C-alpha cells in the first residue's frame, strides 16, 4: 500500500511539474505602442483566438482612433488598413475597435458616421490570399484591355 501511495504522489508531482513548465514557456508580455501624433495612449479591447491580432483605440493626431496590431506590422490605423483593402470610408471616423473574431478578420467597434452621428460598425478584412487574387485579377484585366 505504501509503494502505491508513493507512486501516486510521484505521478502527481510529475503532472504538476509538466503543467508549470507548459505555462512558464507560453507566458509573455508585450507593450503594443500607440499611433503617431496626439498624446501617448492606447487601450486594447479585443484579441484573436491565437493572440496574433489585437484591436482597440489609441490617441493619434485625429483624437481617439481605432487600431489593429499584429506581430508583423505592429500598430496601424484600422481605417487605413480597411481603406487599403478597398473599402471607401470617406466621412467615417473609427474611434475604437472593441471586438475581433477568432480568426482576426472581422472587427466591431464604434465611431462617427458621415452624418456626424455616433454609430456602431462591423468590418471584415479580406484574407491576404484574397487580396493577392484580387490584385492579380486587376492586372490581368488591365493587360487584356491594353491588348484590344
Residues 6+ apart with CB under 8 A from 148: none
Identify the three-state secondary structure at position 68: strand
User: Per the domain annotation, does 47 fall within a domain?
Assistant: yes
Q: Of 148, 93, 146, 104, nearest to 126 (Cα)? A: 104
User: Per the domain annotation, does 13 fall within a domain?
Assistant: no
Task: Summarize pLDDT for 33-61 with one digit per residue, the tens.
Answer: 999 998 899 999 999 999 999 999 999 99
User: Per the domain annotation, does 121 fall within a domain?
Assistant: yes
- Per-residue tens of pLDDT for the chain, all 148 residues: 555 544 445 444 444 444 444 455 688 899 999 999 988 999 999 999 999 999 999 999 999 999 999 999 999 999 999 999 999 999 999 999 999 999 999 999 999 999 999 999 999 988 765 444 444 555 555 555 555 5
Residues 6+ apart with CB under 8 A from 132: none
Split into its structural domains, the chain has a count of 1
Q: Is the CB of residue 54 less than 8 Å from the CB of residue 47?
A: yes
User: Per the domain annotation, does 93 fall within a domain?
Assistant: yes
Q: Global pTM?
A: 0.70
Q: The domain containing residue 118 runs over which residues?
A: 42-137
b/e string for 42-57 if b means 16 or more Cβ within 10 A?
A: beebbbbeeeebbbbb
User: Per the domain annotation, does 4 fall within a domain?
Assistant: no
Q: Which residue has the cell 473574431?
A: 101
User: Per the domain annotation, does 9 fall within a domain?
Assistant: no
User: Per the domain annotation, does 115 fall within a domain?
Assistant: yes
Q: Of 118, 96, 127, 119, nearest to 109 (Cα)? A: 96
Identify the three-state secondary structure at position 3: helix
Amino acid at each position: 500500500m505504501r509503494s502505491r501511495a508513493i507512486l501516486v504522489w510521484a505521478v502527481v508531482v510529475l503532472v504538476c511539474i509538466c503543467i508549470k513548465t507548459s505555462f512558464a514557456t507560453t507566458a509573455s508580455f508585450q507593450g503594443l505602442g500607440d499611433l503617431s501624433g496626439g498624446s501617448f495612449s492606447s487601450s486594447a479591447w479585443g484579441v484573436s483566438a491565437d493572440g496574433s491580432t489585437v484591436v482597440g483605440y489609441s490617441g493619434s493626431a485625429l483624437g481617439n482612433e481605432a487600431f489593429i496590431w499584429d506581430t508583423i506590422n505592429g500598430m496601424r490605423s484600422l481605417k487605413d488598413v480597411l481603406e487599403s483593402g478597398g473599402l471607401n470610408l470617406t466621412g467615417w471616423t473609427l474611434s475604437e475597435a472593441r471586438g475581433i473574431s477568432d480568426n482576426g478578420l472581422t472587427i466591431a467597434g464604434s465611431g462617427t458616421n458621415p452624418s456626424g452621428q455616433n454609430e456602431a460598425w462591423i468590418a471584415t478584412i479580406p484574407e491576404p490570399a484574397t487580396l493577392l487574387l484580387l490584385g492579380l485579377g486587376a492586372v490581368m484585366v488591365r493587360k487584356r484591355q491594353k491588348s484590344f
